[in-house]
């Protein structure tokens, strides 16, 4: 390799002395290739990875004669800023390629968006540079963009260069990535050169052993994932050294997350259910339990035990699952940090949610307005838009791991992926809206009692039956209102929450929706739970705002009130939750049908589309109140 000339640095031209302003586009000059190749080789000498080369181009350019232009330095900078992206070891198919391949990308420009001048430079550099890191990069670009008609030639050149570059000072990580790329290229062009294939195989094994022995697991994991991939032909032999390396790697580390990576490779190699796979899985779960035992923070303890129990269950290790669950249940209590804030809600918000309530002249009119209020969780469409905005605005929300806890400080589930995070953000907005509107509903019920007293059960039931509801459900709703007014909030919720499911089932039976699970073998025939019934209502035109309210209030992605009551965890229910439970039951109970003759499906769907009546204030509830006034006047 020729040494850069440093004796007499040339004086830059006036154009090159000016560094401000936009860099002009690169134009190719074949006569400049030797100088640019010299600069690239000098930048590669002693570099640990291609990005290091990119950063050294500008530093070394003043030592090259003739002087390098800004546009030339920029195109060389782009050349070595491409990332060799290798699939993670947990992915079944091993792959590696230069990125970004397609746009949009500003730095570096996407390979397929490169100008013709840049492509010509890369092809020329591939034939002029001497350093293996430079040859690997340039020939790989030539192969990727098919700058030579014969792709096998460019692939072979890149493979040989990656093999030469797989030694220090190149970092172990980039040596591993380069070897996997060479392995991928050999398969891509069906390379039949046994000598080259064996060289790649042996270099990977050497790197894996080096990584395991020197405590650098990730390069070892990367190349071992390729080494255990299925062969191109059935005649390819299985190398027992690879199994030995995998077994060594599983035992070489104490960190559970590293062991998990190697154990996954052992299971893939040996097959689920094999003795080797079980040993690796046991070692993995035991490491997770050991980390939980060693932790001191209650939250970390819970997280580690929960992960260990889930892994043991997945791998069929019942004894370790029991041990992890026992540790989870006996973990020290979490000290939660509670942030309190006060919001003064203007009275106009109350009047906007329950228009006309303050002017009601008797309890029937007031209660009909209460029963005509909109979904407490708000508009599903508006809430979803707000949730999307919140996710886009918060980087931490998208990057941080999030775990949802249930009663007893036990982890319920981890948010996994964008869909889970969006659902969680949506539920948070809905719960905040429910909290505010729930207070409005509770306040209105208290005011109704204070102004008009508690109606008798007979009057309440008669009033509710005016909607045509099923008598047994109307009776339960009337009783629940009375329990609320005597401040028996627990009893109110325990009575009325199960009626939500009963009303849902009654409506679906009226629509003749197939939902009953017939008895099969030892299983008992039964109706599914509310979580399975609500989508069937939506399929029959149920208002999505109300479906979201019921889901968020009652099911486990939200407040989970239904399950808390069913399993005895709902202690000391307050007036707001009880008011929301009454509202949830009322919206469905009052659209059930007590008429033996029944209704046709179209009528039921129309009712579900507008469960609180027509949007206009002279809807069916107002007509119901008017009818009741006439009845009272006539008597």
The DSSP secondary-structure symbol of 437 reads: H
| DSSP codes, 558-576 | TT-HHHHHHTT---S--HH
Q: Please state which of the ranges 65-69, 264-268, 397-401, 548-552 shows the lowest mean pLDDT.
A: 397-401
Q: 402 Cβ partners below 8 Å, 6+ apart?
A: 414, 415, 421, 424
The rounded distance, in Å, linking the Cα atoms of 203 and 197 is 10
- Predicted TM-score (pTM) of the model is 0.65
Residue 242 has pLDDT above 90, yes or no: yes
Number of DSSP helices (H) and strands (E) in the chain, helices first: 29, 4
Residue 411 has pLDDT above 90, yes or no: no
> How many whole angstroms from its chain centre is CA 285?
24
Residue 543 has pLDDT above 90, yes or no: yes
- Split at pLDDT 50, 70, 90, the class of 235 is very low
CA-nearest of 58, 60, 40, 59 to 50 is 40
Residue 181 has pLDDT above 90, yes or no: yes
Mean pLDDT over all residues of the chain?
85
Show the CA angle centred on residue 211, arms to residues 138 and 257, nearest 5°. Answer: 110
- Split at pLDDT 50, 70, 90, the class of 9 is very low
Q: What is the 3-state secondary structure (H, E, C) of 66-121?
A: CCCCHHHHHHHHHHCCCEEEECCCCCCCCCEEEECCCCCCCCCCCHHHCCHHHHHH
What residue ranges do the domains of the chain occupy? 14-230, 253-332, 347-515+526-634
Q: Please state which of the ranges 6-15, 442-451, 583-592 shows the lowest mean pLDDT.
A: 6-15
Paired sense of beta strands 403-406 and 410-414, if any: antiparallel
Cis amide prior to 239 (ω within 30 degrees): no
């Amino acid at each position: 390799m020729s040494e850069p000339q440093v004796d007499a640095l040339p004086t830059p031209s006036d154009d090159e002395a000016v560094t401000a302003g936009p860099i002009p586009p690169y134009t190719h000059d074949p006569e400049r290739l030797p100088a640019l190749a010299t600069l690239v080789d000098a930048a590669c000498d002693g570099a640990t990875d291609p990005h290091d080369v990119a950063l050294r181009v500008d530093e070394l350019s003043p030592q090259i004669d003739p002087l390098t232009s800004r546009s030339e330095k920029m195109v060389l900078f782009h050349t070595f800023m491409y990332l060799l992206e290798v699939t993670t070891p947990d992915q079944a198919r091993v792959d590696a390629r230069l990125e970004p391949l397609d746009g949009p990308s500003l730095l570096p420009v996407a390979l397929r968006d490169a100008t013709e001048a840049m492509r010509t430079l890369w092809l020329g550099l591939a034939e002029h540079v001497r350093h293996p890191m430079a040859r690997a990069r340039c020939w790989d670009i030539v192969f990727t963009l098919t700058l030579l008609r014969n792709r096998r030639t460019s692939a072979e050149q890149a493979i040989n260069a990656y093999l030469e570059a797989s030694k220090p000072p190149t970092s172990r990580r980039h040596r591993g990535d380069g070897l996997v790329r060479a392995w991928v290229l050999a398969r891509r062009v069906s390379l039949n050169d046994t000598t080259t294939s064996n060289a790649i195989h042996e270099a990977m094994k050497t790197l894996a052993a080096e990584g395991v022995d020197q405590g650098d697991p990730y390069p070892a994991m990367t190349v071992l994932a390729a080494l255990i991939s299925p062969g191109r032909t059935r005649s390819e032999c299985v190398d027992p050294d690879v199994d030995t390396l995998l077994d060594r790697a599983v035992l070489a580390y104490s960190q559970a997350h590293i062991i998990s990576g190697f154990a996954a490779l052992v299971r893939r190699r040996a097959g689920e259910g094999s003795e080797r796979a079980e040993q690796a899985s046991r070692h993995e779960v035991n490491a997770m339990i050991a980390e939980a035992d060693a932790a001191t923070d209650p939250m970390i303890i819970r997280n580690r035990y929960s992960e260990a129990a889930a892994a043991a269950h997945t791998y069929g290790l019942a004894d370790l699952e029991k041990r992890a669950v026992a540790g989870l249940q006996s973990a020290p209590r979490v000290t939660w940090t509670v942030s309190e804030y006060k919001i003064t809600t203007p009275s106009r918000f109350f009047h906007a949610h329950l228009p006309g309530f303050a002017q009601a002249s008797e309890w029937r009119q007031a209660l009909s307005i209460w029963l005509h209020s909109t979904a407490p969780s708000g508009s599903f469409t508006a809430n979803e838009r707000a949730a999307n905005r919140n996710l886009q605005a918060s980087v931490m929300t998208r990057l941080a791991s999030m775990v949802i806890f249930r009663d007893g400080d036990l982890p319920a589930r981890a948010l996994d992926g964008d869909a889970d995070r969006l659902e969680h953000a949506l539920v948070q907005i809905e719960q905040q809206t429910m909290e505010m509107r729930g207070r409005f509903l509770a306040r209105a019920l208290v005011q109704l009692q204070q102004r008009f007293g508690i109606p008798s059960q007979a009057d309440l039931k008669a009033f509710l039956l005016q909607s045509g509801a099923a008598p047994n459900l109307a009776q339960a709703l009337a009783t629940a209102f009375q329990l609320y007014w005597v401040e028996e909030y627990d009893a109110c919720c325990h009575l009325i929450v199960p009626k939500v499911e009963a009303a849902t089932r009654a409506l679906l039976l009226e629509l003749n929706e197939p939902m009953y699970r017939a008895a099969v073998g030892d299983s008992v025939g039964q109706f599914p739970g509310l979580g399975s019934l609500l989508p069937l209502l939506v399929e029959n035109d149920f208002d999505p705002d109300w479906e979201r309210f019921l889901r968020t209030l009652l099911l486990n992605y939200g407040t989970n009130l239904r399950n808390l009551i069913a399993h005895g965890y709902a202690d000391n229910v307050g007036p707001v939750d009880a008011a929301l439970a009454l509202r949830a039951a009322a919206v469905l109970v009052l659209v059930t049908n007590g008429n033996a003759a029944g209704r046709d499906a179209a009528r039921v769907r129309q009712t579900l589309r507008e469960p609180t009546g027509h949007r206009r204030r002279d809807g069916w509830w107002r007509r119901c109140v008017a009818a009741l006034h006439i009845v009272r006047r006539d008597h």
